[in-house]
Amino acid sequence: MRRTLTISVLLLLFTGGVWGDEDNQSVCEVRTKQLEKDILRCKKGDTLSFYLNSARIYAIGNAIGRACEVDTVVSLGTGYAICIYRGSLRDVR
């Protein structure tokens, strides 16, 4: 019971910090297979909604690493995630 309460409080604190600065930004849906094409309609500060549409499971991690602000990623299960868009894609080396 105490552990559940602690986790609940931490989640509330975490989500408040991540999403507390939101204003009238949009939710921008992007597919990992077409990230560079889909991201063109997104603006810095938008909430990105990722969907894994590739057989490569590491594709979602790559997409998140390229597009998201650090500390804003929330995983919604295998193949789905949301975050705040940083305004541009990082280069892949």
pLDDT tens by residue, the chain, 93 residues: 555 545 554 455 455 444 445 566 789 988 888 888 999 999 999 999 987 776 677 788 888 899 999 899 998 877 788 999 999 999 988
From 52, 45, 41, select the one nearest 68 (Cα to Cα).
Answer: 45
pLDDT of amino acid 54: 65
* Residue spans of alpha helices (H) in the chain: 2-19, 35-38, 58-67
The model scores a pTM over 0.75 = no
Q: Which tokens go with 64?
A: 């998140």
Please give the DSSP secondary-structure letter assigned to residue 70: T
pLDDT of amino acid 17: 47
Rounded to whole angstroms, the Cα distance separating 60 from 30 reads 10
CATH no. for 23-93: 3.30.110
pLDDT of amino acid 21: 54
3-state secondary structure of 31: strand
